[in-house]
Amino acid sequence: MKIEALHKFHDADFSKEWVEKFEPTPPRIKLFETILKQIEKVGRKKTSILELGIGPGFLADYLLKELNTVTYEGLDFSESMLKIAAKRTAKHEKIIKFTQADLINEVWTEKLKKSPDVVVSTWALHDLFNKNNIFNVYKSAHKILPKDGVFLNGDFIKPEESNHEYEGGRIRPSEHIKLLQEAGFKSVKCLEEFEKDVENPTTANNYACFKAKK
């Protein structure tokens, strides 16, 4: 059985139903905590954060409740997801902006409203179908970040030791590390793996957080 989740994020009814099932569980919140700690370490006065694939805005809402001196830009190609994210983060409307763009089929960096100091993403880039599309996003993120800028990607992976068949965007931690290095990042590591289950993989377990510094 292939570990694969096919989504219809452009369909408003699908998005609404999917979001109801995606409510973050305690282990998923641990990924948010990991990302938060790393952003706090950046130590800029006003950190500009860009999220790739903001989806329903769970990560954005979590971060914005904890960080009050940041600006936030949430990018997604789905209009319905952007609407859900805007509703969830309405309390932070003064510091959050939304950008509709496709991470595969357009030069999304040209649509950004602000240059980021930190780029974050959770459970989104595996949806880009294959390694090459993920690599292109890594290269673009490297291009737009300043020196010492940080990229934090928490995403579903294929565990290193797994022999199961996974969809093309779920790649091994070593492959993420190699792609980030080839994209030009100088300091790259896998910070942590979450809900790891090599023998019994599902579409919802096995994810990891990668940190890359320019």
Ligand X SMILES: C[S@@+](CC[C@H](N)C(=O)[O-])C[C@H]1O[C@@H](n2cnc3c(N)ncnc32)[C@H](O)[C@@H]1O
- CB count within 10 Å of CB 200 equals 8
We find the least distance from the C-beta atom of residue 81 to ligand X, in angstroms, to be: 4
Q: Which of 48, 50, 55, 119 binds ligand X (CB under 6 A)?
A: 55
* Bridge partners, residue 208, by sequence: 155, 193
The reply to whether 183 sits near ligand X by the rule CB under 6 A is no
SS (H, E, C) the chain: CCECCCCCCCCHHHHHHHHHHCCCCHHHHHHHHHHHHHHHHHCCCCEEEEEECCCCCHHHHHHHHHCCCEEEEEEECCHHHHHHHHHHCHHHCCCEEEEECCCCCCCHHHHCCCCCCEEEEECCHHHHCCHHHHHHHHHHHHHHCCCCCEEEEEEECCCCCCCCCECCCCCCHHHHHHHHHHCCCCEEEEEEEECCCCCCCCCCCCEEEEEEEC
Which listed residue (39, 47, 53, 134) binds ligand X by CB under 6 A?
A: 53
Nearer Cβ to ligand X (45/169) = 169
Considering Cα of 143, then 145, then 151, then 155, what sign does the dihedral take?
A: negative
Query: Which range in 48-56, 91-99, 155-163, 184-192 contacts ligand X by CB under 6 A?
Result: 48-56
Q: Which of 81, 118, 145, 188 binds ligand X (CB under 6 A)?
A: 81
Site residues for ligand X, 118-147, by CB under 6 A, read 122-124, 127-128
**Is 123 or 135 the residue whose CB approaches ligand X more closely?**
123
Give the per-residue contact string, 58-77, with ligand X (x = CB under 6 A; - = no).
xx----------------xx
Q: Does 156 bind ligand X (CB under 6 A)?
A: no
> By Cβ distance, which residue is nearest to ligand X?
55
Stretch that binds ligand X, among 96-104, 160-168, 182-190, 204-212 (CB under 6 A): 96-104
Between 124 and 145, whose beta carbon lies closer to ligand X? 124
Alpha carbon 6 to its chain's center: 17
78 binds ligand X (CB under 6 A): yes
The residue ranges that bind ligand X (CB under 6 A) are 9, 53-59, 76-78, 81, 102-104, 122-124, 127-128
